[in-house]
Chains A and B, each alone.
Chain A
């Protein structure tokens, strides 16, 4: 029984990290139909920033990380994505691949490809015991941060002027511009937000893994993308639920599958993803952006 509860706790914890990764990808897709694969590298660069600032007072290191990643996201928008903004989504997708590849290789060039171990906020790794159930503090923090950020972003999109402009741009970018919304500003804010999200994921991920490697973000971006698709492209709540589902299904399958089948766990995870898409081709929560408008 304890094992069952423990597994569920593990599942929700893994799901929360995936959910946060998906949130950034979902946000950018919602606003500008961009599937940004380079988001993984935003996270990776955040992790490297933390590695470089190890030894600094942690809050300062965290603020620096947020600043670096937000700056990177804004630069990516200005230099890589703005020139192709009017191109079709496939071009933007390829641009994001190119940017991801470029950033990965820049990291290899500067830091080498060998992973680097570093230790930040080790206290977070220690578990809180509730009876015999072990809940790492980091996971409690991750879940709180995921809920907090989702609420924060939802409020931002509904209550602030720029948030409302963003939603307007998401529904019809051209119409929004005709009505006086500054397209560049809306998109820059969206990029900055994904920068903040990536930096937060970087902090949580670095605290969990304690290593920096140039390819780290790739897996998170991939899971984030899958989560966004099953959650419903463009829906923030969907992205979070999608991430949670991928995490929970992965951990539960790891626990339930017999040893000889555990090796093929990913195949089962993606079978579940396919099943969801067959039943609901638009994802669990259909986003405003993906709805066909007449």
Chain B
């Protein structure tokens, strides 16, 4: 009797799970993303860009002759709902899922995908834990690792902008910001020596409403820095940059991709001397025509420009998976994974992309550096890190 139940259960599982996709000629691409709530703005661009990538593939005749269909489920910006959303889209037959642009919010959905042997791609989770070591071999992220971002900024400051001393201001409320400043510091010391870091201070983006104290310490620093590395994000980032500039500190500021986009510039309308890292330009002035073409098509389809260049990573999720599927000639997860792990310097929209069986995040990728001049983003060029940081867990 037990055996019959087991067979019935297995048949049911086959019908509900893998069987559904097999019976269907179309291939489902799942999105377990924050479509509403506090994280939604960060998934919005990558999600729309991924839809654009799916359209592009379908107009070219589909993937391995099959049409791609997007199925989405809302995580409601709730970590716990992430797993439910993943189960939902995988239940609907998704062969690959895209999850939230953040390790903490994306991981629960990715763990479900890993357990069902389905791919989980994060658009822009920049924490290397989003990969083999943190989730499993089916987890990939199209972000450039924070380690690399810090290193690029350090080299850019020292070599390109000729800024020989720096002061670090770290927002301790998030892993991204702490890791960015730590990797900047490591690389900057290699270049400029210990004396290159004039001072450092921290603030808490969620608790602090003012950084008057930090600004006073910076002003009182016996040796004034040539630049300030500002590892902040979000509303606190915008607010504190306003406060720094209001006190008359006109030093060059350096920031990671967490300060990409123009949505916050209203707080400091005449901002200048601000170097910020990005995947590309969301404003149509990228040195790479391919990205401007993407921005034009994105704007035509959705009625507005992408708010930040993180959208590019969403497009590249589909690019990476589709290329590996094509090379493997099958949708089989194990075969596709073998191809994904062989991707080397692929010229995707988010930038040159490589994966290895150990590193499912990009450690060696150039990123665009902007200088904001009078509130306008002026691209300087793409820079990569000469030293490729090592993954350490």
Asked whether A14 and B210 contact (CB < 8 A) given A113-B41, A115-B263, the answer is yes
Closest to B40 in A: A113
- The reply to whether B210 and A13 form a contact with Cβ atoms under 8 Å apart is yes
- The reply to whether B238 and A208 form a contact with Cβ atoms under 8 Å apart is no
- The reply to whether A136 and B247 form a contact with Cβ atoms under 8 Å apart is yes
- The reply to whether B238 and A13 form a contact with Cβ atoms under 8 Å apart is no
> How many whole Å from B114's CB to the nearest CB in chain A?
28
The yes or no answer to B207 lying at the interface (CB within 8 A) is: yes
> How many whole Å from B172's CB to the nearest CB in chain A?
5
Q: Contacts of A22 on B, CB cut-off 8 Å?
A: none
- The reply to whether A209 and B242 form a contact with Cβ atoms under 8 Å apart is yes
Asked whether A112 and B40 contact (CB < 8 A) given A14-B209, A14-B212, A219-B207, the answer is yes
- The reply to whether A13 and B39 form a contact with Cβ atoms under 8 Å apart is no
Q: Contacts of A262 on B, CB cut-off 8 Å?
A: 201-202
Q: Which of B172, B246, B263 contacts A263 (CB 8 A)?
A: B172
> How many whole Å from A217's CB to the nearest CB in chain B?
11
Asked whether A254 and B265 contact (CB < 8 A) given A113-B39, A262-B202, the answer is no
The yes or no answer to B213 lying at the interface (CB within 8 A) is: yes
Asked whether A17 and B238 contact (CB < 8 A) given A108-B37, A114-B41, A119-B266, the answer is no
> How many whole Å from B354's CB to the nearest CB in chain A?
31
Q: Which of B172, B217, B234 contacts A213 (CB 8 A)?
A: B234
The yes or no answer to B214 lying at the interface (CB within 8 A) is: yes
User: Within residues 216 to 230 of chain B, which ones have a CB less than 8 A from any CB in chain A?
Assistant: 216-217, 219-220
The yes or no answer to A69 lying at the interface (CB within 8 A) is: no
The yes or no answer to A228 lying at the interface (CB within 8 A) is: no
Q: Contacts of B307 on A, CB cut-off 8 Å?
A: 114
The yes or no answer to A7 lying at the interface (CB within 8 A) is: yes
The yes or no answer to A11 lying at the interface (CB within 8 A) is: yes
Q: Contacts of B202 on A, CB cut-off 8 Å?
A: 259, 262-263
- The reply to whether B265 and A117 form a contact with Cβ atoms under 8 Å apart is yes
Q: Contacts of A13 on B, CB cut-off 8 Å?
A: 210, 212
Q: Contacts of A219 on B, CB cut-off 8 Å?
A: 206-207, 209
> How many whole Å from A144's CB to the nearest CB in chain B?
17
**How distant is the Cα of A8 from the Cα of B235 in the complex, in angstroms?**
26
Q: Which of A134, A139, A266 contacts B204 (CB 8 A)?
A: A266
Asked whether A255 and B213 contact (CB < 8 A) given A117-B263, A134-B247, the answer is yes
Q: Contacts of B302 on A, CB cut-off 8 Å?
A: none
- The reply to whether B40 and A125 form a contact with Cβ atoms under 8 Å apart is no
Q: Contacts of A126 on B, CB cut-off 8 Å?
A: 246
Q: Which of B207, B216, B235, B246 contacts A125 (CB 8 A)?
A: B246
> How many whole Å from A50's CB to the nearest CB in chain B?
12
The yes or no answer to B191 lying at the interface (CB within 8 A) is: no
Q: Which of A2, A115, A139, A205 contacts B209 (CB 8 A)?
A: A205
Asked whether A125 and B212 contact (CB < 8 A) given A211-B267, A255-B217, A263-B202, the answer is no
- The reply to whether B38 and A254 form a contact with Cβ atoms under 8 Å apart is no
| Interface of chain A, main secondary structure | helix
**How distant is the Cα of A114 from the Cα of B263 in the complex, in angstroms?**
8
> How many whole Å from B177's CB to the nearest CB in chain A?
12
Closest to B308 in A: A114
Q: Which of B77, B214, B217, B268 contacts A117 (CB 8 A)?
A: B268
Q: Contacts of A57 on B, CB cut-off 8 Å?
A: none
Q: Contacts of A216 on B, CB cut-off 8 Å?
A: 235
**How distant is the Cα of A116 from the Cα of B216 in the complex, in angstroms?**
27
Closest to A126 in B: B246
Asked whether A113 and B212 contact (CB < 8 A) given A3-B220, A126-B246, A210-B239, the answer is no
Q: Contacts of B134 on A, CB cut-off 8 Å?
A: none
Q: Contacts of B264 on A, CB cut-off 8 Å?
A: 115-117, 211
User: Within residues 31 to 71 of chain B, which ones have a CB less than 8 A from any CB in chain A?
Assistant: 36-41
The yes or no answer to A281 lying at the interface (CB within 8 A) is: no
> How many whole Å from A21's CB to the nearest CB in chain B?
9
Closest to A119 in B: B269
Q: Which of A112, A211, A254, A265 contacts B41 (CB 8 A)?
A: A112
**How distant is the Cα of A203 from the Cα of B77 in the complex, in angstroms?**
30
Q: Contacts of B246 on A, CB cut-off 8 Å?
A: 122, 125-127, 136
Q: Contacts of A208 on B, CB cut-off 8 Å?
A: 209-210, 239, 242-243
> How many whole Å from A19's CB to the nearest CB in chain B?
13
- The reply to whether B210 and A7 form a contact with Cβ atoms under 8 Å apart is no
Q: Which of A14, A108, A116 contacts B38 (CB 8 A)?
A: A108
- The reply to whether B268 and A210 form a contact with Cβ atoms under 8 Å apart is yes
> How many whole Å from A271's CB to the nearest CB in chain B?
15
- The reply to whether B247 and A213 form a contact with Cβ atoms under 8 Å apart is no
Closest to A21 in B: B209
> How many whole Å from B303's CB to the nearest CB in chain A?
15
The yes or no answer to B352 lying at the interface (CB within 8 A) is: no
Q: Contacts of B238 on A, CB cut-off 8 Å?
A: 115, 117, 209-211
> How many whole Å from A115's CB to the nearest CB in chain B?
3
- The reply to whether A210 and B267 form a contact with Cβ atoms under 8 Å apart is yes
**How distant is the Cα of A273 from the Cα of B206 in the complex, in angstroms?**
19
Of B36, B77, B210, chain A has the most CB atoms within 10 Å of the CB of B210
- The reply to whether A117 and B266 form a contact with Cβ atoms under 8 Å apart is yes
Asked whether A209 and B267 contact (CB < 8 A) given A11-B213, A115-B234, the answer is yes
Q: Known pairs A209-B243, A250-B213, A254-B214. 4 more at Cβ < 8 A?
A: A113-B77, A117-B265, A119-B266, A212-B235
Residues of B within 8 A of A (CB): 36-41, 77, 172, 200-202, 204, 206-210, 212-217, 219-220, 234-235, 238-239, 242-243, 246-248, 263-269, 307
Residues of A within 8 A of B (CB): 2-3, 6-7, 10-11, 13-14, 17, 105, 108, 112-119, 122, 125-127, 134, 136, 139, 205, 208-216, 219-220, 250-251, 254-255, 259, 262-263, 265-266
A-B pairs, 6 with minimum CB distance: A117-B266, A210-B267, A125-B246, A115-B235, A117-B267, A209-B239
Q: List 15 A-B contacts (CB under 8 A).
A: A7-B213, A11-B213, A108-B36, A113-B77, A116-B266, A117-B266, A127-B248, A134-B247, A136-B247, A205-B209, A211-B235, A212-B235, A219-B207, A254-B214, A254-B217
